[in-house]
């Protein structure tokens, strides 16, 4: 039986994405409202999103408020530990039984004659871990009948805004003989030992990658024109008293971190926050001078007037500046102009031999839903429709796309809580189950 011949599968709530927001929304629907008729569609083969590095926010605030733990290995944990936590929450609430993995949404349409959302999905093509191929997503056919069809009362778009890496549009990339991959699509099969590696980007991810990669490769060159405010890690959160409080009173340490980060917001006030911005910039400057090689100070230290604290995300230094002292590393304030078979040409016309290229160049924020290519259209209501026509946005929930000054997870959970509440009370005219007779114009 073809996809077009099968009866659409009905769920009260459909959630696109089983990452941080998707897991939180599904869990809160169960905890707070007793709603279990939920279906999740996840593009990858496992839940938990796409964390590719350690956290730069203390884990007490980078975990769900309703699933606090006290046995973290440290305040600033690594990628594997945080991913295991999210997957543990996923399985605790039995979401594996309600999730279709390696499945992506290709179109979503709202039918105002029935006040239902229609979602079409297909088997997701897994990332190639090659930035050149990942930049060419599979197109979506205009004829949706070839895709699997689902129906729901409430649609939650939780695919995340930091899930789709920026495209690799560098001239000559297709000629390069070695691997080219993004930090969020790490190619675990690529053996970088005894290789000359070019790392593009020196932000939060680039700094962590540089520190971990430099001892394992023959030579590592990092490219980045941007200057950042590098700050030391507040080790007080791993002191004996803090560890005790985190273990036995996790909510106390969580609230303390929350209030501390809220206090940092004062620096964003244009006039009254200037003193705090200058103090933070001075702290960053002192840390760089103390820790990094003198030859890189001019490349690393930003002008506190031209680029005040807060213009870009601050970078906590987990060992990046010390790693710059290694003999096999180099930092260059340049961008890639083009790529050849075995080298990288900089915009300064300098040519660097290369065996592999790693891109820590951020994510695409211009498309809602990343690579899921969700198309929000409306059916034309029939003139003979007997039910009231609802506003489609009243049954479409989208968690916040970007965090503000606090933890991304805390922001996501707040949005997921709002999504759960709205999902528990969708438009009253929306039917509670899919009618067996196809009276809708869904096809």
Q: Does the pLDDT value for residue 372 go beyond 70?
A: no
Q: In 3-state terms, the chain is what percent helix, strand and coil (to 5)?
A: 35, 20, 45
Instruction: Give the residue, 162 or 311, on which the prediction is more confident.
Output: 311
Instruction: Determine which of 95-109, 122-136, 345-359 has the lowest per-residue pLDDT on average.
Output: 122-136
Domain range annotation of the chain: 9-164+364-424, 165-226+312-362, 231-291
Q: Average pLDDT, stretch 111-128?
A: 86
Rounded CA separation 83/98 (Å): 20
Q: How long a stretch of residues is the chain?
A: 443
Q: Does the pLDDT value for residue 159 go beyond 50?
A: yes
Rounded CA separation 224/230 (Å): 14
Q: What is the CA radius of gyration of the chain?
A: 24
Instruction: Quote the tokens at residue 264.
Output: 């940092």
pLDDT band at 225 (very low <50, low <70, confident <90, very high): confident
**pLDDT for 184:** 84
Rounded CA separation 273/262 (Å): 13
Report pLDDT digits (tens) over 243-263. Answer: 999 999 999 999 998 888 887
Instruction: Give the residue, 374 or 313, on which the prediction is more confident.
Output: 313
- What contacts 24+ positions apart, CB below 8 Å, involve 35-38? 35/423, 35/424, 36/98, 37/11, 37/12, 37/13, 38/11, 38/12, 38/13, 38/14, 38/95, 38/98
Dihedrals phi, psi of 421, to nearest 5 degrees: -65, -45
Q: Average pLDDT, stretch 294-302?
A: 97
CATH H-level superfamily of 165-226+312-362? FAD/NAD(P)-binding domain (3.50.50.60)
**pLDDT for 293:** 98
**pLDDT for 381:** 40
Instruction: Quote the tokens at residue 117.
Output: 């959302």
Report pLDDT digits (tens) over 25-74. Answer: 999 999 988 999 999 999 989 998 866 667 888 999 889 999 999 999 99
**pLDDT for 351:** 98
Which candidate, 426, 433, 355, 437, places its Cα nearest to that of 394?
426
Q: Average pLDDT, stretch 279-301?
A: 97
Rounded percentage of the chain residues whose pLDDT exceeds 70: 82
Instruction: Give the residue, 374 or 386, on which the prediction is more confident.
Output: 374
Q: Sign of the C-alpha dihedral, residues 77, 83, 86, 92?
A: negative
Q: Does the pLDDT value for residue 267 go beyond 90?
A: no
Rounded CA separation 392/365 (Å): 24
Span 9-164+364-424: which CATH code? Answer: 3.50.50.60
Q: Is 129 left (phi over 0), alpha (psi -120 to 50) or beta?
A: left
Which candidate, 6, 13, 83, places its Cα nearest to that of 44?
83
Asked whether this chain's domains 9-164+364-424 and 165-226+312-362 adopt the same fold, the reply is: yes
Q: Does the pLDDT value for residue 281 go beyond 90?
A: yes
Report pLDDT digits (tens) over 383-394. Answer: 333 333 344 455
Instruction: Give the residue, 387 or 196, on which the prediction is more confident.
Output: 196
pLDDT band at 358 (very low <50, low <70, confident <90, very high): very high
Q: Does the pLDDT value for residue 304 go beyond 60?
A: yes
Which residues are registered as beta bridge partners of 120? Answer: 107, 149
Report pLDDT digits (tens) over 377-436. Answer: 444 443 333 333 344 455 565 555 555 456 678 777 877 787 777 767 655 555 555 454
Nearest-10 crossing angle of helices 20-33, 408-424: 50
Q: What is the distance in angstroms between the CA of the first residue and the CA of the last residue of the chain?
A: 16
**pLDDT for 283:** 96
**pLDDT for 386:** 34
Instruction: Give the residue, 220 or 435, on which the prediction is more confident.
Output: 220
Dihedrals phi, psi of 433, to nearest 5 degrees: -150, 160
Instruction: Determine which of 328-332, 333-337, 382-386, 409-413 has the lowest per-residue pLDDT on average.
Output: 382-386
């Amino acid at each position: 039986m073809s996809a077009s011949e099968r009866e659409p599968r009905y769920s009260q709530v459909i959630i696109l994405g089983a990452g941080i927001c998707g897991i939180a929304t599904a869990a809160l629907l169960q905890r707070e409202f007793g709603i279990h008729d939920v279906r999740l569609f996840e593009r990858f083969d496992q839940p938990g999103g796409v964390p590719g590095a350690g956290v730069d926010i203390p884990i007490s605030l980078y975990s769900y408020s309703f699933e606090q733990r006290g046995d973290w290995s440290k305040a600033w944990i690594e990628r594997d530990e945080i991913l295991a936590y999210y997957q543990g929450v996923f399985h605790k609430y039995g979401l594996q039984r309600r999730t279709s993995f390696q499945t992506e949404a290709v179109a979503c349409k709202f039918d105002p004659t029935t006040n239902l959302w229609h979602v079409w999905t297909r088997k997701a093509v897994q990332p190639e871990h090659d930035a050149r191929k990942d930049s060419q997503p599979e197109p979506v056919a205009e004829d949706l009948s070839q895709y699997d069809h689902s129906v729901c009362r409430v649609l939650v778009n939780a695919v995340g805004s930091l899930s789709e890496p920026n495209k690799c549009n560098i001239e000559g990339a297709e000629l390069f003989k070695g691997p080219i991959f993004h930090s969020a699509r790490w190619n675990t099969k690529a053996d970088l030992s005894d290789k000359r590696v070019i790392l593009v980007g020196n932000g939060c991810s680039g700094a962590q990658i540089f520190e971990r990669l430099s001892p394992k490769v023959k030579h590592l060159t990092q490219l980045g024109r941007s200057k950042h405010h590098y700050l030391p890690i507040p080790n007080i959160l791993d002191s004996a008293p803090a560890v005790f409080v985190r273990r036995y009173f996790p909510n106390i340490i969580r609230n303390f971190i929350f209030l501390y980060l809220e206090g940092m917001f004062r620096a964003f006030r244009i006039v009254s926050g200037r003193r705090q911005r200058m103090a933070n910039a001075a702290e960053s400057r002192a840390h760089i001078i103390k820790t990094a090689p003198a030859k890189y100070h001019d490349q690393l230290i930003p002008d506190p007037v031209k680029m005040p604290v807060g213009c870009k995300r601050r970078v906590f230094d987990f060992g990046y500046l010390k790693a710059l002292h290694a003999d096999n590393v180099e930092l260059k304030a340049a961008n890639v102009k083009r790529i050849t078979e075995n080298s990288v040409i900089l915009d300064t016309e300098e040519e660097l031999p290369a065996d592999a290229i790693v891109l820590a160049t951020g994510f695409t924020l211009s498309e809602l839903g990343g690579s899921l290519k969700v198309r929000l259209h409306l059916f034309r209501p029939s003139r003979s429709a007997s039910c009231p026509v609802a506003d489609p946005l009243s049954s479409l929930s989208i968690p916040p796309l970007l965090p503000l000054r606090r933890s991304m997870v805390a922001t996501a959970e707040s949005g997921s809580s709002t999504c759960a509440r709205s999902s528990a009370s969708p438009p009253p005219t929306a039917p509670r189950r899919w009618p067996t007779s196809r009276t809708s114009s869904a096809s």
